[in-house]
Amino acid sequence: MTVPNILLSGIVGSHAYGLATEDSDTDRLGVFAYPTVKMLGLHPPDESVVRTAPDVTFHEARKFISLALRCNPTITELLWLPDELYETRTPLGDRLIGIRQSLLSAPLVRNAYLGYATQQFRRLESRSEEGDHSFSSDTKKRTAKHARHLLRLLIQGMFLYEDGKLDVRVDNPAMYHRFGEQVAAGDLQAAKDEISSAERWIDSIPPALPDKPDYAAAEEWLLDVRREFW
């Protein structure tokens, strides 16, 4: 289907982090709005449009803002991209960027970023238990990728928790690649140790974020979207 009324879109994922390899796809993410009347009936349309080759995901405004209020790392990323990575920006998209910090909360940043990193670890752990540790080249590449993103999630989450700001592009990409190769070579304990260290670090510092997001700001933005496309 054609995505209507795109409010904000950009390049996310490995290319945004500065961790892309020659095998990395270019991932795009965006937020759009249906005509308001379509959201009022008994059977509202699907709130996400997902395509592959190329990889593109668009979320309708209500779903996007709901995920942002839960500090979903992928959704949050779109709101903190470097300017050159945005492909569509509208006044409502800029307003969404403008309230990005108010959508965050300390407990949900902790849970989301550590939680997603732990999910990556479970993937690594499962692959290790199922395999015989003589991984194919493709399996090693996927394992290294998951390990890189585990470390990225931990570091981004820690600094977002401490500073209230998200740096999408990582410092020292070579460190992440070395870590990925280390884990892919069989050092699963290194990944487990990084998670434990991040948990201790987060629990030892005062957060720069409030206990709850600003639901009123999110609601005001969404209602303005509905008015715009009435």
Contacts of 154 (CB under 8 A, 6+ apart): 113, 114, 117, 194, 195, 198
Please say whether the beta carbons of 30 and 10 come within 8 A. yes
pLDDT digits (tens, 9 = 90+) for 30-77: 999 999 999 998 898 999 999 987 889 999 999 999 999 999 999 999
Neighbour order of strands in the sheet with 27-32: 48-51, 55-60, 27-32, 6-12, 86-89
Q: What is the pLDDT of residue 137?
A: 65
Q: What is the pLDDT of residue 128?
A: 67
The alpha carbon torsion through 134, 140, 146, 150 (nearest 10 deg) reads 70
pLDDT digits (tens, 9 = 90+) for 103-155: 999 999 999 999 999 999 998 888 765 554 445 567 788 899 999 999 999 99
> CATH fold of 6-103+214-228, please?
Beta Polymerase; domain 2 (3.30.460)
Return the domain boundaries, the chain. 6-103+214-228, 106-203
Which H or E run includes 51? strand 48-51
Share the mean pLDDT of the chain: 93
CA distance 213 to 100: 10
Q: What is the mean pLDDT of residues 143-172?
A: 96
* pTM of the entire predicted model: 0.92
pLDDT digits (tens, 9 = 90+) for 186-195: 999 999 999 9
Rounded to the nearest 5°, which phi and psi values hold at 74?
-65, -40
